[in-house]
């Protein structure tokens, strides 16, 4: 299931598993560091541009996506980053009603030595 988010800037994101899986290692590293204060804005822009869509939810061509992000005001950057992160987390984290992808594991022994107390 895809997640879409749009804000006051008119920027819209469409996050899908296929888009995430199509990312390169380098892009995924940049995605991982998205909320880091040390990450360069150009790296943030590269990741966000991958998920930008138009009003019909069609992916924007890379040049158009970059142009849309470059047109943002400085005071919109954190809003856009938070908007994207929310869309990503909604896609990545299953809802409470969803079935977990794997059963929980346990590493707890009966006793520290493995024998009955």
What's residue 101's pLDDT? Answer: 46
Residues of the chain with pLDDT under 70: 1-9, 93-117
Q: Are 81 and 48 in contact (CB under 8 A)?
A: yes
pLDDT for 95 = 57
Which sequence spans correspond to the domains of the chain?
3-92
Positive or negative torsion for Cα 30, 31, 36, 42: positive
Which pLDDT belongs to residue 109?
43
Alpha helices in the chain (DSSP H): 17-21, 25-32, 41-49, 62-70, 74-92
Predicted structure pTM score: 0.66
Q: pLDDT value at position 8? A: 53
How far apart CA 9 and CA 88 sit, in angstroms, is 18
């Amino acid at each position: 299931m895809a997640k879409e988010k749009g804000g006051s800037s008119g920027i819209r994101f469409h996050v899908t598993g296929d888009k995430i899986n199509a990312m390169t290692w380098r892009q995924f590293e940049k995605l991982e560091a998205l909320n880091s204060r040390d990450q360069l804005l150009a790296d943030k822009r590269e990741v966000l541009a991958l998920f930008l869509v138009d009003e019909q939810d069609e992916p924007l061509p890379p040049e158009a996506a970059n142009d849309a992000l470059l047109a943002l005001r400085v005071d919109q950057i954190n809003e856009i980053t938070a908007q994207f992160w929310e869309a990503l987390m909604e896609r990545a984290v299953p809802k409470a009603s969803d079935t977990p992808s794997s059963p929980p594991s346990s590493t707890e022994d009966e006793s520290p030595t493995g024998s009955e107390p």
